[in-house]
């Protein structure tokens, strides 16, 4: 295990990687496959979920950002949970679901679809329709949802303000973990901003601080982070799993993330899933998202090839 060496941080401020038994691990924000008719392809979903778990993921999160959760209706979400459970995947140990709604009732319904089936927990985004809500208003909204989901093993608060336009302040996170101890267990930080991640680690290191931007993952793990829920695990989980275990950087990863982020992220992730699974059916997306064009996919494929060569030493 490598010791973190960051000359910009005094030695006393450096943290150590979490013990293995206190880590969340590597979670995949599972991409959602669609048929040519635009329905969720449940058979392909189950195969992909098993593939990601076999590749080193400890959990899968259905209907997150990468899973196009905001485009999925209640019926589709319910069918996905049922299919995953029927396939023999341990819902209590392995499965979370993304919750994205501005209505308390709908957020609870999305949550209960998994929890009533015996699922593990929630990746809970704030009510995104309402801009600049007060901290008190956000606290009341989260509390109204959480009071009806008290049987979850894990509730991960989802901090992705570039999408929701509703940031979760450290003070709000503190209020929620105090009001719901043992229920609010983590924060997924998808800002891609190291000072934000560092503050969460400093102020809420008792929670699972999970990183969405793979470029920050190794450093976060070295400084006490608990793992990740990310989109890259859809196509390169085997390369990412050692980062969560040791905090070691993976050669070429930052460059691949930067190239992927030059494109719409979910279509780019699905393009690389299609590439690695040799299955063009993965290019399908729910409207309003559209697949990458051939030129963009070729550019991304070339960068992915460079990543594979660098990470394997080939």
270 within a domain of the structure (yes/no): no
Residue with tokens 């319910």: 78
Q: Tens of pLDDT along 77-133?
A: 999 999 999 999 999 999 999 999 999 999 999 999 999 999 999 999 999 999 899
Q: Helix, strand, or coil here: 208?
A: strand
Residues 6+ away with beta carbon under 8 Å from 247: 1, 2, 4, 17, 218, 219, 221, 222
9 within a domain of the structure (yes/no): no
What pTM, to 2 d.p., does this model score? 0.92
126 within a domain of the structure (yes/no): yes
277 within a domain of the structure (yes/no): no
Res. 274 pLDDT band, cuts 50 70 90: very high
252 within a domain of the structure (yes/no): no
Structural domain including 241 reads 21-245
Q: Tens of pLDDT along 195-214?
A: 999 999 999 999 999 999 99
CATH number at residue 210: 3.20.20.70
Q: How many domains does the chain have?
A: 1
Give the pLDDT score at 16: 67
The neighbouring-strand residues paired with 124 are: 99, 157
Residue 5 has pLDDT above 60, yes or no: no
Res. 7 pLDDT band, cuts 50 70 90: very low
Catalytic residues: 65, 129, 158, 188
- C-alpha 311/C-alpha 159 separation (Å) is 30
- C-alpha 94/C-alpha 102 separation (Å) is 26
Residue 222 has pLDDT above 80, yes or no: yes
Q: With pLDDT > 90 as the criterion, what percentage of the chain qualifies? A: 91
154 within a domain of the structure (yes/no): yes
Res. 18 pLDDT band, cuts 50 70 90: confident
Closest CA to 73 of 110, 41, 37, 45: 110
Closest CA to 275 of 230, 229, 234: 234
190 within a domain of the structure (yes/no): yes
Residues 6+ away with beta carbon under 8 Å from 124: 99, 107, 111, 142, 145, 155, 156, 157, 158
Q: Greater confidence, 13 or 120?
A: 120
86 within a domain of the structure (yes/no): yes
């Amino acid at each position: 295990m490598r010791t973190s060496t960051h000359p910009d941080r005094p030695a006393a401020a450096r943290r150590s990687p979490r013990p293995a038994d206190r880590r969340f691990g590597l979670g995949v924000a599972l991409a959602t496959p669609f048929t040519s008719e635009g329905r969720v392809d449940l058979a392909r979903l189950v195969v992909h979920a098993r593939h990601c778990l076999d590749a080193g993921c400890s959990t899968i999160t259905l209907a997150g950002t990468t899973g196009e959760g905001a485009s999925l209706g209640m019926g589709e979400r319910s069918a996905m949970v049922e299919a995953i459970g029927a396939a023999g995947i341990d819902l209590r140990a392995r499965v979370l679901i993304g919750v994205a709604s501005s209505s308390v009732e709908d957020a609870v319904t999305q949550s209960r679809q998994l929890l009533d089936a015996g699922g593990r927990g929630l990746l809970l985004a704030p009510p995104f329709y309402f801009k600049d809500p007060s901290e008190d208003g956000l606290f009341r909204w989260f509390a109204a949802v959480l009071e009806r989901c008290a049987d979850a093993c894990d509730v991960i608060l989802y901090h992705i303000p570039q999408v929701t336009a509703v940031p979760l302040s450290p003070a709000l996170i503190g209020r929620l973990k105090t009001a719901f101890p043992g229920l609010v267990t983590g924060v997924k930080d998808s800002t891609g901003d190291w000072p934000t991640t560092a503050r969460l680690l400093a102020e809420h290191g008792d929670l699972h601080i999970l990183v969405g931007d793979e470029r920050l993952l190794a450093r976060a793990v070295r400084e006490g982070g608990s793992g990740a829920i990310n989109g890259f695990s859809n196509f390169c989980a085997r390369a990412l799993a050692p980062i969560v275990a040791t905090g070691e950087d993976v050669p070429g990863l930052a460059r691949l993330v930067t190239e992927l982020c030059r494109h719409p992220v979910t279509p780019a992730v699905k393009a690389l899933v299609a590439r690695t699974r040799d299955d063009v059916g993965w290019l399908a997306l729910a409207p309003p998202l559209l697949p990458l064009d051939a030129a963009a996919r070729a550019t991304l494929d070339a960068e992915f090839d460079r990543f594979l060569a660098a990470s394997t030493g080939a």
